[in-house]
Structure 1
Amino acid sequence: MRIISGKYAKRNLFTLKSQKTRPTSDKVKESLFNSLGQFFAGGQVLDLYGGSGALGIEAVSRGCDHAVLNDVSRAAVAIIKKNVALTKEADRFDVTNMPAKVALKVLAQKGRKFDLVFLDPPYAKQQMVKDMTAMKQLDLLNDGALVVAETDDQTDLPAIAGFDLLKEHHLGKTLVRFYRKAAE
């Protein structure tokens, strides 16, 4: 697995050797970022289930200002820190080790707001709805914020209040859904 494009392009990333994480493949990552518009003019990123940190690091590589990379697993956080070190710009990343629910509350208490959020939880359907609802209630999203939700192709998500489903991409057994925070 590697950084595909941007400032940190072609750097190989460390991954966790575990059945508990499912790194987003380079093919899925490339398609996902093609759908997002390739490059960014700033913005704040949250990867709530960071795994290796690849999605958040890729977003910063492509022009986002800063990323918060969170994971509940200490082993995953150790890998994320190694990958952030590869960028030689650790100040552009915050790495946290908390359950998602706690991380969202802590970020809200700090007044953080995000433009792009990656969600790839292990128990997708129930957790994504809870996470997106919490982000809305805690006012963690800037106007027009995008949420990218990655699941297997068997997971059916209901409509989520406060979000508009923009598009879905089937990539093999992976389904990536793009949501925009609805205008208030």
Structure 2
Amino acid sequence: MISGNYRGRRLIPVPGNQTRPTADKVKESMFNMLGPYFDGGQALDLYAGTGALGIEAVSRGMDHATLVDKQYAAIKTIKQNVELTKEADKFTILKQPVAIALQQFADEGKQFDLIMLDPPYAKQEVLAQLQVFAEMHLLAPDGVVMLETGLDVDYPETIPGFVKRRHQTYGVAQVLILEADEGE
């Protein structure tokens, strides 16, 4: 279920067990921690799955969202879910591994106001990816990163290039919200 401009639309799940969708309750809490509404900007949804986080970001006021996933079933589902918004021009869908997409964005000099990561719990490399965001300058100066990970990820007290805004636990998931460190 989506809030904001696309309120009430039910997203189609990705078939099979290759993706783990974010629970609606957790998603709502995540966005409430962020704002809950945006005044424009560019969003990036990595490991997009159904596209729910990117769609939610646009529904809550982001101008555009780029949705990245490498699975064919996920990309097919994302396209169907984006069509439900009736504003497909506000979305870019990329079927690629995250590392390739990040390099492409860096090469193009792209920056994002909101970067969202919800990686497969078994393959979490979020700390390394945060370092990549900082090194490649992918996060806009006032940008925010929102991560949903399993409880097995142990975040250090300080993460170079970022300031912790919120850290919350929900059942088997934890959500971390970071801001770009202006002092870096």
Query: TM above 0.5, one fold?
Result: yes
Aligned 8 A contact 2:15 2:73 in 1: no
CA distance in 1, matches of 2:14, 2:124: 25
TM-score by length of 2: 0.94
CA contact (8 A) 2:121 2:150 kept: no
**Distance change >3 Å, CA 66–CA 124, structure 1 → 2:** farther
Corresponding residue for 1:94?
Answer: 92
Pairing partner for 2:112 from 114, 119, 122? 114
Deviations 1:132-177 (A, max 9, x none): 1111111111112111111122321234211111111111221101
Partner Cα distance (2:13, 2:121) in 1: 20
Deviates more, 1:143-152 or 1:95-104: 143-152
CA contact (8 A) 1:125 1:156 kept: no
The answer to whether residue 9 in structure 2 is matched with residue 15 in structure 1 is: no
Report the equivalent of 1:160: 159
Q: Distance in 2 between matches of 1:63 and 1:109?
A: 27
> Who is 1:174 aligned against?
173
Structure 1's unaligned 5+ residue stretches are none
Match of 2:4, SS state, is coil
Distance 2:73 2:129 in 1: 22
Matched residue SS, 1:117: strand
Count of aligned positions = 182
What is the Cα deviation at residue 123 of structure 1?
Answer: 4.9
C-alpha distance after superposition, 1:39-73 (max 9, x if no partner): 11001100111000000100100000000000011
Indicate the RMSD between aligned Cα atoms, in angstroms.
1.4
**DSSP-derived class of the 1:7 partner:** helix
Report the TM-score, using the length of structure 1 for normalisation.
0.94
Distance 1:124 1:108, change over 3 A: farther
Gaps of 5+ in 2: none
Measured in 2, the distance between the counterparts of 1:161 and 1:126 equals 18
2:147 aligns with 149
**Structure 1 residues 99 and 53: alpha-carbon distance in aligned structure 2, compared to 1, 3 A threshold:** same
- The 4+ residue runs of structure 1 with deviation greater than 4 A are 123-126
Query: Is the contact between residue 125 and residue 155 of structure 1 (CA under 8 Å) also seen in structure 2?
Result: no
Aligned partners of 1:124 and 1:151 also within 8 Å = no
